[in-house]
Amino acid sequence: MKEPKQPHGGKREGAGRKAAYNEPTKVVRVPESRILEIKAYLNKPKNEIEIDQIRQIDPVTHLEIPLASERIQAGFPSPAQDYVENTLDLNEHLIKNPAATFIVRVNSLSMLGIGIDVNDELIVDRSLEAKHRDIVIALVDNEFTVKRLMIEGDQHWLKAENPDFQDIHFDEGQELVIWGVVTRVLKSFR
């Protein structure tokens, strides 16, 4: 005898997120331009590294960019600001030690509270000694992370700048290797 056909919809055992979390769900609105990025972030494996694409700087170009002699206000511009007195080479301005400088791309929201977002590029100088409150690239349990280095007495720990992420405190036997100090953030607004 043929089973009666089940209608579409309705409650099915184990279906939907509510069953997985045992609580009601909620719709969240996000900008359309960020949907794919947010989906990719939410679906990435939990053990995925926070740093993507480490590449060394090769400052072989020299390009002088006009440098306005006055600082700019957030209000109305001054007519005198049209005057350009000097030029600036970005290699010299951004990179102090080319042989020890790398760019890394951020792959996490753990530092969002200080303006470091997913896909921002960080200029990292490996020749600098990390100090208390520096933003660092650290190697923890063979995975790279970007965090703020906190030093209190003989204790070292890594602070996330986003309340959704946990700080990293080290257990006995765990090794912290400071790979480099972040000196600049390259952020695209378009």
Given 110, 131, 187, 188, the catalytic residue: 110
145 bridge partner residues: 138
User: Any catalytic annotation for residue 110?
Assistant: yes
User: Any catalytic annotation for residue 2?
Assistant: no
Q: Beta-strand (E) ranges in the chain?
A: 51-56, 64-68, 84-89, 101-106, 121-125, 135-140, 143-152, 155-159, 168-169, 176-186
Q: What is the spatial distance between Cα 104 and Cα 106, in angstroms, rounded to a whole number? A: 6
Q: Helix, strand or coil for residue 12?
A: coil
The Cβ of residue 106 has, within 10 Å, a number of other Cβ atoms equal to 23
Given 147, 159, 187, 188, the catalytic residue: 147
Q: What is the spatial distance between Cα 84 and Cα 99, in angstroms, rounded to a whole number? A: 32
Q: What is the spatial distance between Cα 70 and Cα 4, in angstroms, rounded to a whole number? A: 80
Catalytic residues: 110, 147
